Homo-oligomer: A and B are copies of this chain.
Amino acid sequence: MNKADLLPAARGDVPADLLLANARVINVFNGCIETGNVAVYRGMIAGVGEYTKALETIDLEGRYLAPGFIDGHVHLESSMLDVVEYARAVVPRGTLTIVTDLHEIANVTGLAGIRYIMNRAQHLPLNVFLMAPTCVPATHLETSGAEIDADDIRQMLKWSNCTGLGEMMNYPGVLNRDEKVTAKLRLAMGRPVDGHAPGLTGKDLTAYIAAGIRSDHESVSLAEAREKLDKGMFIMIREGSTEKNLEALLPLVDEANCRRCMLVVDDRSCVELQRDGDIDAVLRKAIRLGLDPVRAIRMVTLNPAEYFHLQEHGAVAPGYQADMVVLEDLNCPQAVMTFSRGKLAARDGRPVFKTGRQASAKLRDTIHIKEPGRDSFRLSCAMPMPVIEVVPGQIITRYRRETLPVVEGTAVPDPARDILKIVVVERHRASGNTGVGMVAGFGLQRGAIASSVAHDAHNIVAVGVDDESIGAAVAEIQRMKGGLVAVDGKMVLAALPLPVAGLLSGQSLEKTADALTVVEKVAARLGSTLPAPFATLSFMALPVIPELKITDLGLVDVNEFRIIP
């Protein structure tokens, strides 16, 4: 809208569209709580104070009113939800703005997937800002479905809802001044550039920051986060489904530096979104851990708004977009109502908005595999052989060596010692590329589980006790055109289809979360000892996280950043 249109309502000359009366407003500018009436006009906040005339009035009866929460770093594909369903999941929780790096779908479909999600996000009561993915594919040690080059990034940066450059995971490329990486960074031109620098320290960290990278969400220790903050990075404290850093990093935050800190989720599963919540769950935990509630709210409103230059977001103040959350108890913030652009979007945790969006037929044919042969999953290898060891609750793995039974000249799993076969099948271009190895820690005693969600190239990854089960699991994913599956021999026991790019469900939040719960339970029945076996599985093929990983090109020694021959 033309802001001038807002002025008569701000002056009280015309009635507001909506009046939120008797609010205790969280003022993020001064850190105080102020009682007043909030006048909303054409989706914007006209003013806070003694307004009375309005077409509609809601008496908040002294409840707290906070700016809509901003999640400053999330890959929404990790929810396995279409963005419409994602909005249904998070808007009732108070998240009204997300800044998303869509590098998951970009690895499968390139710009087309990014456009698909950004287009579907229009007209939702959720502001979706894009950080243009910089590292697609993440490495040369795997086969992705697409590449994002400097030209693509230049194009995205022209979009009005593209705020900057997404996490620069290729820190070796930055430090070694790789030409392609440098070209991408040069495009940023004063816009925010997100970092991804797990464990980077000392002069390498300094150099990475000197390249213009000004945020990081990968710190796991207090010392790591402190060094990054001291050197000028905004610290995004992450509390996702698999990576939980809040407890370790919260002691970092003090009055002097809190303007440089945010709370983000990075990756959250649909089950967790539905059960525990989104940014609101992080807020509650942070407050439980001792963070002052108003400071916590500033960290998910004004702070990300400033970092991302979102001038009309992050405050309940004149001229800001009317995205607001009503909270009952500031010590345990739970959204009672959320308003998006001045319209009630959710009440008591349930969405009340119409999405007006049909399921799309696009991007539903992205699984292309070459029929595996009889011997595709055979593993003949000198003993002892490398074994990936899962570290519970983390996405790093350990590099172990084990001697395994050999049957007909091929190494076979040993479920008794919890060593299973792991397979990655290239699924973008039907190349037939197949990585085969062994993994410890999944606990399966029968059958196999498989997934087309496998960071970041999203090939098909399967873990199983025998080749027949693995083959059946891969075949079922092919049949579903993507998804998660648990099989026993030839029998499919449970599945969650993810037909959109092999990453996203075509179903509702509720159905998707239910199906994920079921397939995880079935995996547990097969013997899985992991709390979230598919989430763990999805990180087995991510060769930017140490120590031993597997891609369609084979086992990757991450520390040496090479394929093991």
Interface residues, chain A, CB within 8 Å of chain B? 2-4, 6-7, 10-12, 27, 29-32, 34, 44-49, 174-175, 177, 182, 185-186, 190, 202-204, 206-207, 209-212, 214, 229-232, 255-257, 259-260, 306, 309, 311, 315, 317-320
20 pairs, A vs B, C-beta closer than 8 Å: A3-B185, A3-B211, A3-B212, A4-B177, A6-B207, A10-B206, A10-B210, A12-B203, A30-B229, A30-B230, A30-B257, A34-B230, A46-B206, A48-B231, A190-B311, A209-B317, A209-B319, A211-B319, A259-B259, A306-B306
Instruction: Please indicate the chain B residues that have their CB under 8 angstroms from the CB of A174 in the complex.
Output: 7
Instruction: Please indicate the chain B residues that have their CB under 8 angstroms from the CB of A190 in the complex.
Output: 309, 311
Instruction: Please indicate the chain B residues that have their CB under 8 angstroms from the CB of A203 in the complex.
Output: 10-12, 47, 49
Q: Report the nearest B residue to A233, measured CB to CB.
A: B29
- How many identical chains are in the complex? 2
**In the complex with contacts A10-B203, A182-B4, A29-B210 CB distance below 8 A:** no
Q: Give chain A's interface secondary structure class.
A: mixed
Q: Are B11 and A230 in contact (CB under 8 A)?
A: no
Q: Are B11 and A204 in contact (CB under 8 A)?
A: yes
Instruction: Please indicate the chain B residues that have their CB under 8 angstroms from the CB of A232 in the complex.
Output: 29, 315, 317-320
Kindly state the separation between the CA atoms of A212 and B1 in the bound complex, as whole angstroms: 12
Q: Are A319 and B212 in contact (CB under 8 A)?
A: yes
Instruction: Please indicate the chain B residues that have their CB under 8 angstroms from the CB of A32 in the complex.
Output: 230, 256
Kindly state the separation between the CA atoms of A185 and B319 in the bound complex, as whole angstroms: 13
Instruction: Please indicate the chain B residues that have their CB under 8 angstroms from the CB of A2 in the complex.
Output: 182, 186
Q: Report the nearest B residue to A209, measured CB to CB.
A: B318
Contact partner of A4 among B6, B12, B211, B317, CB < 8 A? Answer: B211
Instruction: Please indicate the chain B residues that have their CB under 8 angstroms from the CB of A3 in the complex.
Output: 185-186, 210-212
Instruction: Please indicate the chain B residues that have their CB under 8 angstroms from the CB of A231 in the complex.
Output: 29, 48, 317-318
* Additional 9 contacts, C-beta under 8 A, given A7-B175, A10-B210, A32-B230: A2-B186, A4-B182, A6-B211, A7-B177, A10-B206, A46-B210, A49-B202, A190-B309, A309-B309
Chain B nearest CB: distance from A470 CB in Å? 44
Kindly state the separation between the CA atoms of A311 and B207 in the bound complex, as whole angstroms: 17
Instruction: Please indicate the chain B residues that have their CB under 8 angstroms from the CB of A10 in the complex.
Output: 203, 206-207, 209-210
Contact partner of A318 among B6, B31, B207, CB < 8 A? Answer: B207
Instruction: Please indicate the chain B residues that have their CB under 8 angstroms from the CB of A311 in the complex.
Output: 190, 214
Kindly state the separation between the CA atoms of A309 and B309 in the bound complex, as whole angstroms: 8
Q: Are A31 and B211 in contact (CB under 8 A)?
A: no
Instruction: Please indicate the chain B residues that have their CB under 8 angstroms from the CB of A260 in the complex.
Output: 29-30
Kindly state the separation between the CA atoms of A209 and B27 in the bound complex, as whole angstroms: 15
Instruction: Please indicate the chain B residues that have their CB under 8 angstroms from the CB of A47 in the complex.
Output: 203, 206-207, 210
Kindly state the separation between the CA atoms of A315 and B232 in the bound complex, as whole angstroms: 8
Kindly state the separation between the CA atoms of A105 and B4 in the bound complex, as whole angstroms: 29
Q: Report the nearest B residue to A256, measured CB to CB.
A: B31
Kindly state the separation between the CA atoms of A210 and B206 in the bound complex, as whole angstroms: 40
Chain B nearest CB: distance from A34 CB in Å? 7
Q: Are B230 and A27 in contact (CB under 8 A)?
A: yes
Chain B nearest CB: distance from A89 CB in Å? 29
Chain B nearest CB: distance from A157 CB in Å? 14
Kindly state the separation between the CA atoms of A232 and B230 in the bound complex, as whole angstroms: 28
Kindly state the separation between the CA atoms of A203 and B207 in the bound complex, as whole angstroms: 49
A27, A209, A319 pick with most chain B CB within 10 angstroms: A319
Q: Report the nearest B residue to A191, measured CB to CB.
A: B311
Instruction: Please indicate the chain B residues that have their CB under 8 angstroms from the CB of A45 in the complex.
Output: 210
Kindly state the separation between the CA atoms of A186 and B202 in the bound complex, as whole angstroms: 45
Instruction: Please indicate the chain B residues that have their CB under 8 angstroms from the CB of A44 in the complex.
Output: 210
Closest 7 CB pairs of A and B: A31-B256, A10-B207, A232-B317, A210-B318, A47-B206, A10-B210, A210-B319
Q: Are B11 and A206 in contact (CB under 8 A)?
A: yes
Instruction: Please indicate the chain B residues that have their CB under 8 angstroms from the CB of A11 in the complex.
Output: 175, 203-204, 206-207
Instruction: Please indicate the chain B residues that have their CB under 8 angstroms from the CB of A204 in the complex.
Output: 11
Chain B nearest CB: distance from A101 CB in Å? 20
Chain B nearest CB: distance from A191 CB in Å? 8
Chain B nearest CB: distance from A384 CB in Å? 38
Q: Are A29 and B175 in contact (CB under 8 A)?
A: no
